[in-house]
């Protein structure tokens, strides 16, 4: 007759009688949700998010971006609707990218006062008071060749490009942007933009510098969203080599000397060490950009049923904050705010 067998010492009674003599039992603080919440070191909140929006001309336009489910190209009226929803979710700001009707070799639509970004800044500042409006300052969405600046012999030339960026930043400030965010990685642009803003009476407009922006494969979906892939070549002559961190600190230091108010590391997940060092060494408000490819990876895995999306999203954003980011720019802003609100 079969009898119930158990390994020696594995019955509940035996287990209760077995006791290691431990001075420290870290598991005590993990026993209940209340205990875990009490000792949690990193708390995520919607107040640290900024949500990017892609604006274009027209009216009533809302076209989903194939590789970025839940992210849209929006006409200005639709962007205003999203801005209302973003503010209602407790998110303090938006970051605007523009899709111009026309592109040319020098990206002149970047500083057209009637272009979508400038129009969206005015509309959002007027209709959604209190929401911060940040603008991306770069030429890649505006040049016919998709490069971030003016080309001479197929090379992006630095100083002439900086003058174009200054024009773009001034036009954003004139439209009412609270923060301009140069993402081009040209040398000396922060200083020139600061000087030009001050001279034009925009001393109160802040600069968030994409200070350590890496040449990353994770911008792929953004380039579909913004129609800004370079027609030839790549961005290695100005964006940083993913292998470098000391260089990132030098870039950040230069931008701070030139007048950056907030410094950014981009992308986020693959550069957590850079975020940590930038925050520790400079102590400035530090932003991290959780970029399009990072978002697309989570979305794709979730759609295949391979990961639990809300958990993966919060784990990701928590890691970015834990590394030292004060501000997280993320396409997940509203979704994360919703989950955090319970
Ligand atoms: C340049 C810019 C890019 C991103 C933000 N600003 C693209 C690039 O450098 O090619 C990428 C953002 C993302 O991938 O979410 N205007």
Spatial neighbors of 284 by CB under 8 A, at least 6 apart, are 256, 260, 261, 262, 263
Q: Kindly name the residue from 87, 103, 125, 213 that is annotated as catalytic.
A: 213
pLDDT tens per residue, range 85-139: 999 999 999 999 999 999 999 999 999 999 999 999 999 999 999 999 999 999 9
Count CB atoms within 10 A of the CB of residue 163.
Answer: 14
**136 Cβ below 6 A of ligand 1:** yes
Query: Is residue 87 among the annotated active site residues?
Result: no
Closest among 213, 214, 222, 216 to 296, alpha carbons compared: 222
Q: Looking at 8-12, 204-208, 293-297, 317-321, which range is the least confident one?
A: 8-12
Q: Which atom number of ligand 1 is nearest to the Cα of residue 292? A: 15
Going by CA atoms, what residue is nearest to atom 12 of ligand 1? 291
Q: Which atom number of ligand 1 is nearest to the Cα of residue 239? A: 9
**138 Cβ below 6 A of ligand 1:** yes
pLDDT tens per residue, range 276-296: 999 999 999 999 999 999 999
- Inform me whether the pLDDT recorded for 1 exceeds 60: no
Taking residues 243-259, report their average pLDDT. 98
First vs last Cα of the chain: how many Å apart? 55
Q: Which atom number of ligand 1 is nearest to the Cα of residue 291? A: 15
pLDDT tens per residue, range 3-58: 556 666 678 888 888 999 999 999 999 999 999 999 999 999 999 999 999 999 99
Closest among 137, 139, 121 to 177, alpha carbons compared: 121
Query: Is residue 266 among the annotated active site residues?
Result: yes
**291 Cβ below 6 A of ligand 1:** yes
CATH numbers and ranges of domains, the chain: 43-340 (3.20.20.70)
> By three-state DSSP, how is residue 133 classified?
strand
Interval between CA 234 and ligand 1 midpoint (Å): 13
Tracing tokens 């959780």 back to the chain, one arrives at 290
pLDDT at 3: 54
Taking residues 185-207, report their average pLDDT. 98
With 0-12 / 13-18 / 19 or more C-beta atoms within 10 angstroms meaning exposed / middle / buried, residue 311 is: exposed
Residue pair 315/242 in contact by the 8 Å Cβ criterion? no
Interval between CA 222 and ligand 1 midpoint (Å): 6
pTM for the complete prediction?
0.96
pLDDT tens per residue, range 222-235: 998 898 999 999 99
């Amino acid at each position: 007759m079969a009898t119930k067998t158990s390994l020696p010492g594995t019955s509940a009674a035996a287990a209760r009688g077995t006791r290691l003599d431990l001075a420290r039992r870290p598991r005590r603080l993990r026993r209940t949700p209340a205990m875990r919440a009490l000792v949690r070191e990193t708390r995520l909140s919607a107040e640290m998010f900024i949500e990017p929006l892609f604006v274009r001309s027209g009216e009533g336009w809302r076209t989903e971006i194939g590789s970025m489910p839940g992210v849209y190209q929006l006409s200005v009226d639709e962007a205003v609707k999203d801005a209302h929803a973003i503010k209602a979710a407790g998110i303090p700001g938006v970051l605007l990218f523009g899709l111009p009707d026309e592109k040319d070799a020098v990206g002149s639509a970047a500083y057209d006062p009637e272009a979508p970004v400038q129009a969206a800044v005015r509309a959002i500042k007027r209709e959604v008071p209190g929401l911060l409006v940040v603008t991306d300052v770069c030429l890649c969405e505006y040049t016919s060749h998709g490069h971030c600046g003016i080309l001479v012999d197929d090379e992006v030339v630095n100083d002439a490009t900086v003058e174009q960026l200054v024009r773009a930043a001034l036009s954003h400030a004139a439209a009412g942007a609270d923060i301009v965010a140069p993402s081009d990685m040209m040398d000396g642009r922060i200083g020139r933009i600061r000087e030009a803003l001050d001279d034009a009476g925009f001393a109160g407009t802040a600069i968030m510098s994409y200070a350590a922006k890496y040449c990353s494969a994770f911008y792929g979906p953004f380039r579909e969203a913004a129609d800004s892939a370079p027609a030839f070549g790549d961005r290695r002559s100005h964006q940083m080599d993913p292998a470098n961190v000391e260089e990132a600190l030098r870039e950040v230091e230069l931008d701070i000397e030139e007048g950056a108010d907030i410094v950014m590391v981009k992308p986020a997940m693959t550069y957590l060490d850079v975020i940590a060092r930038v925050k520790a060494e400079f102590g400035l408000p530090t932003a991290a950009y959780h970029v399009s490819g990072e978002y697309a990876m989570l979305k794709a895995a979730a759609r295949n049923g391979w990961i639990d999306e809300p958990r993966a999203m919060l784990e990701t954003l928590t890691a970015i904050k834990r590394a030292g980011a004060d501000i997280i720019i993320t396409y997940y802003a509203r979704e994360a705010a919703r989950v955090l609100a319970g």
